[in-house]
Amino acid sequence: MVHEDRRDEGRVGPLKDVRIDLLVSEFDMGLAQPLSRSVRLNGFATCLRLEQVYWDILGDMAKVNRCSVSTLLSHVDREVHLRHGGVKNFTGLVRVVCVVHSLKEGNCLAMA
């Protein structure tokens, strides 16, 4: 049937080859919950909206550096301004910083 053929368009391979069962079966949806928090970036109050998983990573990073999350984010903000003239999407930068940190620490789940 033509309709059945179109459903398979764009697929790279059969869905049975996707190995995300561990991720799906044990996934904590609370980690994906976005939360807005007020932070001070170099003395200026602002609000960041990040998913809980990123707030958790930032909390871990701040703990390792013996500082608050606001101090950690102020450092990131200051460094990006000094080295790159700033960034248009600070929240996106924070997500990338968290992912890079997690990759370096080996905290990412390996797909089986």
What is the residue-wise DSSP string for 54-75?
HHHHHHHHHHHTTS-HHHHHHH
Backbone angles phi, psi at 10, to 5 degrees: 85, -10
Residue 8 exposed, middle or buried by CB count within 10 Å (0-12, 13-18, 19+): exposed
What pLDDT was estimated at residue 32?
Answer: 84
Give the pLDDT confidence score for residue 19 in this predicted structure.
64
What digits encode the pLDDT tens for the residues 45-100? 999 999 999 999 999 999 999 999 999 999 999 999 999 999 999 999 999 999 99
Average pLDDT of span 22-38: 81
